[in-house]
Amino acid sequence: LMNSVFPPELRYASLKLVNRFFQLFSSFCYFDITEIDGVNTNELYNAVQLYLSSSSVSSSTRLSLTRALNSSSITFGLSTNDSIVDTFNSATVLWEHVVTQRQSQTFAWRPMPEEKRGFTLRIKKRDKSLILDSYLDHIVDKAEEIRRRNQDRLLYTNSRGGGGGGGLDSRGLPWESVPFKHPSTFETLAMDPVKKREIMEDLKDFTECRSFYQRTGRAWKRGYLLHGPPGTGKSSMIAAMANYLGYDIYDLELTEVKSNSELRKLLMKTSSKSIIVIEDIDCSINLTNRGKKFNEPEMALTGSGLGDESGNGNTITLSGLLNFTDGLWSCCGSERIFVFTTNHIEKLDPALLRSGRMDMHVYMSYCTFPSLKILLRNYLGYEEGDLSDVVLRELEGVVEKAEITPADVSEVLIKNRRDKERAVRELLEDLKRRAERNEKKGKLRGQNGSVTVADDDVEEQEKRALDSPYAEEEEEIEDNICKISED
């Protein structure tokens, strides 16, 4: 009877009227964010879904689970017709996930999903401007961050093993990528804990300070120079940085770049939120003269595949590299970190080291006692208090004198990881041996007319050793001479 007296149109109109009447006196207002906006996918819907996945886990009892393409992690989502409360700058909002059956399932040219999905946002009327001005932006930013974190990191390289014309791969792209799965984190990195915290805070600060960079008119980028002997963890530090920030890595092989303009093109093709790495910078480019070209024989530090007869020699100059890190082009993208590594900081041009280019210089040192404890924990599972005080004191007494790299410590520990006591015993013996040898070497160096410093003064000899391309071999020979003189 009701149906015949009140046709559907009339019922719908009166319901709308009642709704409107209540809304007039209600302190809430509502926003609908549908999955499909007309015929296009609504990006805001996806952003809200991701954003809520970060906060729904703790409070909801029923959640939907998803795993995206190229992702190894699972995200939680709000289930159908479920709701969740969120707060932002002291405003409380309610999100409801509304799913209804769609009436007509196809457009003339595009199939539509059977269900109509959307989020309804309920907010207090007095919070309207806050929500519209900042909350939705906050959601989009957070969603972007979650999306990045859930996706596997990528490691890009411009090295094509000698192939590829004009710096492009077969598909015309300057970078090739592989999934980046390096397990190094700041937790596993063996270095001074204070220095480590300082770096982590600096990185965090960098990522959260977009408005600071905008306000001060600086490009949103930061440079780190990692220097120290080989095997002290420079590459591990880069991996830890990428894992900590969730950034991709662009490993720039300078010897594969033919000119300054190619370098610029490579830079333009890097994405935001990435780390651009140049390893062993002192071996890749002449770093003493801004004007000179890389392939000029008297200036080149290495001859690896450069300046060949075909006339294909590299023509990157130091000023090209400086522009790369600090010029106008360096700003075509934001939130980027440049990391250079070197074993010989003294070989680098001061222009490259100044603040603004390399904002933070990090010395990766030989193993110290705190780093040794981290390695013992990583490799043998030793926690504070597991080792006797006597052993700890012995280790502490010799580790710095031994001048051993974390890489060498790792080797000893890996070799004996099934027998923890033996691992510590062997490590201690190795450290003692090295410490003793270093002490003897120091004494020999100090004595004029000794085996190693017969005619020259020590400083001069060391300087020559540093400049020598055979520095490592010479060091080894010196060690052998020490051993012989010991015998």
Ligand X SMILES: Nc1ncnc2c1ncn2[C@@H]1O[C@H](COP(=O)(O)OP(=O)(O)OP(=O)(O)O)[C@@H](O)[C@H]1O
Which residues are at the interface with ligand X (CB under 6 A)? 188-191, 230-236, 343, 364, 406-407, 410
CA 32 to centroid of chain Cα atoms: 37
Question: CA–CA separation, 351 vs 281, rounded Å?
Answer: 14
Residue placing its CB nearer to ligand X in the complex, 234 or 293: 234
CB of 345 to ligand X, least distance (A): 12
CB of 414 to ligand X, least distance (A): 9
Extract the tokens encoding 477: 């020979």
Local structure of 102: helix, strand or coil: coil
Residue placing its CB nearer to ligand X in the complex, 223 or 231: 231
Question: CA–CA separation, 155 vs 242, rounded Å?
Answer: 10
Residue nearest to ligand X (CB): 233
CB of 411 to ligand X, least distance (A): 8
Which amino acid is residue 371, in one-letter code? S
CB of 341 to ligand X, least distance (A): 6
Residue placing its CB nearer to ligand X in the complex, 232 or 260: 232
CB of 417 to ligand X, least distance (A): 13
CA 470 to centroid of chain Cα atoms: 33
Residue placing its CB nearer to ligand X in the complex, 158 or 236: 236
> How many degrees, rounded to 5, is the angle at CA 428 between CA 422 and CA 430?
100
CB of 367 to ligand X, least distance (A): 8
**245 bridge partner residues:** none
CB of 188 to ligand X, least distance (A): 6
Residue placing its CB nearer to ligand X in the complex, 364 or 412: 364
CA-closest candidate to residue 377, choices 189, 239, 242, 235: 189
Residue placing its CB nearer to ligand X in the complex, 263 or 362: 362
For the stretch 460-469, contacts whose Cβ atoms lie closer than 8 Å and that sit 24 or more positions apart, written own/partner, are 466/344, 466/346
Local structure of 329: helix, strand or coil: helix
Question: CA–CA separation, 396 vs 376, rounded Å?
Answer: 13
CB of 182 to ligand X, least distance (A): 9
> How many degrees, rounded to 5, is the angle at CA 475 between CA 469 and CA 481?
135
User: Is residue 93 within 8 Å of residue 121, measured between CB atoms?
Assistant: yes
CA-closest candidate to residue 30, choices 90, 137, 117, 119: 119
Residue placing its CB nearer to ligand X in the complex, 143 or 412: 412
Extract the tokens encoding 132: 């519209």
Question: CA–CA separation, 267 vs 323, rounded Å?
Answer: 11
CB of 135 to ligand X, least distance (A): 41
Residue placing its CB nearer to ligand X in the complex, 77 or 228: 228
CA-closest candidate to residue 270, choices 206, 175, 341: 175
CB of 109 to ligand X, least distance (A): 55
> How many degrees, rounded to 5, is the angle at CA 66 between CA 143 and CA 45?
40
Residue placing its CB nearer to ligand X in the complex, 231 or 320: 231
Residue placing its CB nearer to ligand X in the complex, 121 or 431: 431
Residue placing its CB nearer to ligand X in the complex, 113 or 230: 230
Question: CA–CA separation, 332 vs 267, rounded Å?
Answer: 8
Residue placing its CB nearer to ligand X in the complex, 164 or 229: 229
Question: CA–CA separation, 335 vs 214, rounded Å?
Answer: 12
> How many degrees, rounded to 5, is the angle at CA 50 between CA 48 and CA 51?
60
CA-closest candidate to residue 277, choices 244, 255, 253, 305: 253
CA-closest candidate to residue 399, choices 376, 428, 377, 420: 428
CB of 356 to ligand X, least distance (A): 25
**117 bridge partner residues:** 99
CB of 470 to ligand X, least distance (A): 16
User: Is residue 362 within 8 Å of residue 225, measured between CB atoms?
Assistant: yes
Question: CA–CA separation, 207 vs 212, rounded Å?
Answer: 11
